Amino acid sequence: MAIKTNIYGKKITPFEWQDKAKNYKDLLIIAPTGSGKTIAAYNWAFSKESERVIFTAPIKALSNERFLELKKAKKDVGILTGDVKINEDAKILCMTQEIYTNHFAHLPHQKVIVDEIHYMFQDQNRARAYAEGLYKTSKDSDILLLSATITKQAVKYFENITQRKLDVIEIKERPVKTEYIGEIPFEKIVNYQPALIFVFSFKGVIGIAKNLSYYNERINNMPTEKQLNKIFELAEKYKINNTDLMELVIKNVGIYHGNMKYKEKIFIESLFRHNLIKFVVGTDALSLGINLPSKTVIFGQLAKYYDGPISKREFLQMSGRAGRLGLWNIGYVGFMDTPYESFEYETKELYDAFLWKPLEAEEIIVAPSYKLIFKALSFKDLVEKTDKVKEIVKKEVETISKLSSKQISPKGKSTLQEYIFIQIKELTDAIINENNTEDAEKIYKIFQDIYFDEFHTYTNLFIARKIYYGNYEINCIEIYSYLNEKNNQREQLQLLKFFKGLSKTGEYKVTELDKFEEMIKEEDEFVLNPEKIKI
């Protein structure tokens, strides 16, 4: 049965190409941001019966949004994101790519939708989970990949890694016209509201947001009394206690970045969708599939401080937030001069280049899995059998080559093998630097057992030592106090996933897990209970 309305109650009327998607078994849809890939995915997913329908997403917020939309449509749906598990036996499951890869990919008779698949080319650290998931997907399951604009090289890679022929639906034009309007002077910005403003640092987000809030106040571009009442009503609903955030939103400006609490993000999304604020200044976290259409997209920065200029694909993805059929039939894309551009670059030069620059060829070399390497090596192998270590490393490099977008050359393999071997040797030295060999061997056994891919290798070793010297007991609050470098929600959820996985093994005594989980809920009750969100 088709989905008739989206999560916000808007009626869904499929285009011909969206309806046509249901006719294919293994399919790749390539379409610009905002062109309706999700509607096509629903038509494909629910056109025929299957044992299970799975929606994967690169970020938790997207899984939550899909879960809420399907729940609102009265579907039997569950969600699995590591820290959240709701209705896990449901016929429809929304999950992270890592959970799909590790627990569901091998199962037959599923319909699998991998959303934002181009994301794997933007985040090398997550690429392996995507590549392995695609490679391991059962031949008896159907697969649908949803992507923003990609090249033919990427299509070939997806066919190789999924080991199947993919039908391709490619939509090149957006349903609304996009006008690239060049520089927007700061004093003219109100003519283009509502607008999303992209900048790639926390400092830039806050700086532009504050300047914009002062300007709005000066020219009286402020919410009405009725809008303010609604803003405060939503703030109470989402239990927002961030005074800095509230000072901005009452002056028509929201912010959006990776270190915000989940409840703060959905608060800003809700304000912008309901036209209660006119501007959102955010990082590229705004571009990852979140349903936040706008009249205008403005770039306050086009080069990241460490990575240099963004890719043409990222530029198009962010630009795709401008305009939305039924709201604004023309989307405007421009840039503004700010002090937050990366030192070596001029925003105008980068912007002008993006207008003619072709799409870059997709290249990805997946990261090594140290977890798999250490699982294959005993303590004796690690300390005494250099040849065995080199053999396992060589196998891992062959796997990396197989999963990557192109085969690694013999010289490249040799260099990579040497690099991984050195990393293992350094860790071996750190492990054997204990009081005695018996302690070292037992710590290594724990290290093998608990290894968590989302942690750095030495973080895993630190925790293994804490467990061993704590008589195989681990205190969640204590570990959190040691490891919370940034004290943000992302770190809390990462640790919660780890602690929950550890407690399931039954090998270790995990204490104060409930207290740690309650601490997270006290700060943000929605992040672990997305079903409580009323859109």
Query: pLDDT per residue over 270-286, tens digit each?
Result: 999 999 999 999 998 88
Summarised one tens digit per residue, pLDDT across range 7-40 is: 445 565 668 888 899 999 999 999 988 788 889 9
- The answer to whether position 313 is within a domain reads yes
- The answer to whether position 530 is within a domain reads no
CATH number for 256? 3.40.50.300
Q: Tell me: do 157 and 214 sit in the same domain.
A: no
User: 512 pLDDT exceeds 70?
Assistant: yes
Note whether 50 and 43 are within 8 A (CB): no
- The answer to whether position 2 is within a domain reads no
What amino acid is encoded at 510 in this protein? Answer: V
- What pLDDT is attached to residue 432? 84
Tokens standing for residue 180: 């690239």
Q: Tell me: do 339 and 192 sit in the same domain.
A: yes
Summarised one tens digit per residue, pLDDT across range 430-455 is: 988 876 888 999 999 999 999 999 99
User: 348 pLDDT exceeds 70?
Assistant: yes
Q: Tell me: do 382 and 349 sit in the same domain.
A: no
Which among 145, 173, 201 is the end of a domain? 173
Percent of the chain with pLDDT over 70: 96
Tokens standing for residue 415: 């260099």
- The answer to whether position 250 is within a domain reads yes
Summarised one tens digit per residue, pLDDT across range 461-490 is: 999 999 999 999 999 999 999 887 667 888
How much helix, strand and coil, in percent to the nearest 5, is found in the chain? Answer: 50, 15, 35
Q: Tell me: do 168 and 189 sit in the same domain.
A: no
- The answer to whether position 498 is within a domain reads yes
Q: What is the mean pLDDT of the chain?
A: 91
User: 5 pLDDT exceeds 60?
Assistant: no
Residues 6+ positions from 304 with CB-CB distance below 8 Å: 200, 310, 342
User: 210 pLDDT exceeds 90?
Assistant: yes
Q: Tell me: do 345 and 469 sit in the same domain.
A: no
Q: What is the mean pLDDT of residues 122-140?
A: 92
pTM of the model: 0.91
User: 378 pLDDT exceeds 60?
Assistant: yes
The structure tokens 């977890």 sit at 371
Number of H helices, E strands in the chain: 21, 18
Q: Tell me: do 509 and 447 sit in the same domain.
A: yes
Element holding 460 (H helix, E strand) = helix 457-469
- What pLDDT is attached to residue 426? 93
The structure tokens 């071996």 sit at 428
User: 178 pLDDT exceeds 90?
Assistant: yes
DSSP string, 82-105: SS-EESTT-SEEEEEHHHIIIIIT
Cα–chain center distance at 198: 17
Q: Tell me: do 380 and 345 sit in the same domain.
A: no
Note whether 57 and 98 are within 8 A (CB): no
Write b or e for each residue in 250-280: b if 16 or more Cβ atoms lie within 10 A of its Cβ, otherwise e: bbbbbbbbeebbbbbbbbbbbbbeeebbbbb
Residue 327 pLDDT level (bands cut at 50, 70, 90): confident
Q: Tell me: do 168 and 181 sit in the same domain.
A: no
Q: Tell me: do 343 and 465 sit in the same domain.
A: no
- What pLDDT is attached to residue 486? 65
Which among 157, 173, 189 is the end of a domain? 173
Q: What is the mean pLDDT of residues 185-195?
A: 95
Residue 149 pLDDT level (bands cut at 50, 70, 90): confident
Q: Tell me: do 145 and 239 sit in the same domain.
A: no
Q: What is the mean pLDDT of residues 372-382?
A: 95
Q: For residues 241 and 261, what is the distance between their CA atoms, to the nearest angstrom?
A: 11
Q: Tell me: do 287 and 409 sit in the same domain.
A: no
Q: What is the mean pLDDT of residues 168-181?
A: 91
In order of 217, 236, 393, 410, 428, the CA distances from 415 in angstroms are 58, 56, 12, 9, 20
Q: What is the mean pLDDT of residues 403-410?
A: 92
Number of domains composing the chain: 3
Q: Tell me: do 330 and 236 sit in the same domain.
A: yes
Phi, psi of 496 (to 5 degrees): -60, -45
- The answer to whether position 472 is within a domain reads yes
- The answer to whether position 280 is within a domain reads yes
Which among 140, 173, 206 is the end of a domain? 173
- The answer to whether position 205 is within a domain reads yes
Domain containing residue 163: 16-173
